Amino acid sequence: MLSDATGRWLPPGPEARGPSGGAGAGSEHRLYAHIAWMTLAGRPLIGDHRRASAESHLMALCRTLNVQPLEVCVLADRVHLLVRFSAGQSVADLARRVLDGSEARLNAAGHQVRWSRRYAAETVSPREVRRVMRRIARLGEAGRWRARHRPVRSAPSAASAATPVDGHRRLE
């Protein structure tokens, strides 16, 4: 199995397939799933300064569960995870174990996270793995950009609340 500079696992490319386009003789099954879930009530609970720590906890948990994490993206209010798993595991059982285990690990590390019990999961064909990895990575970059450029919300002043959008005060 290959890994890139960040230590993420990479699926074998087309060169690892046999002459018929399928897996070579004696290769194991390659099953992939994209699992996504939110924080309880969609509240933003994971700050930018804790994202890398949360991602490393999730990757370590996956390895403990005998699952290969290919891509993980922790945002303030949700997580996306692409994994490779064995044929003997069900996606529903895997998702439940990842949600329960990651919540316990992150809380033990001081993150104060509560996951919603709902999740979305889809299996991914080996041909689509790299596309899904790029999509999850882009979500992470977009989330980091939004967090850095989020406008500061303040309560409107009495003057701005009394001034209509067109800039003219109405006489009562």
Task: CATH number of the domain at 101, please.
Answer: 3.30.70.1290
Q: Tell me whether residue 166 is in a domain.
A: no
Residue among 59, 108, 93 at smallest CA distance from 79: 59
**Containing structural domain, residue 60:** 28-149
CA distances to 30, 112, 139 from 47, rounded to whole Å, are 34, 11, 15
Residue 81 lies in a domain: yes
Per run of 10 residues, the mean pLDDT along the chain (length 172 residues) is 51 44 50 95 85 91 94 93 92 94 91 91 95 92 54 47 45 42
Residue 172 lies in a domain: no
Tokens describing residue 3: 């890994």
Look at residue 126 and tell me if it is in a domain.
yes
The pTM for the full model equals 0.68
Q: Which pLDDT score, from 0 to 100, does residue 115 have?
A: 94
**H-helix or E-strand containing 108?**
helix 91-108
- In-domain check, residue 131: yes
- What's the pLDDT score for residue 7? 54
Cβ contact 13:101 at 8 Å: no
What is the helix, strand, coil percentage profile of the chain, to 5?
A: 40, 25, 35
Integer Cα distance of 104 and 111 in angstroms: 10
Instruction: Please count the structural domains in the chain.
Output: 1
Residue 64 is predicted with a pLDDT of 94
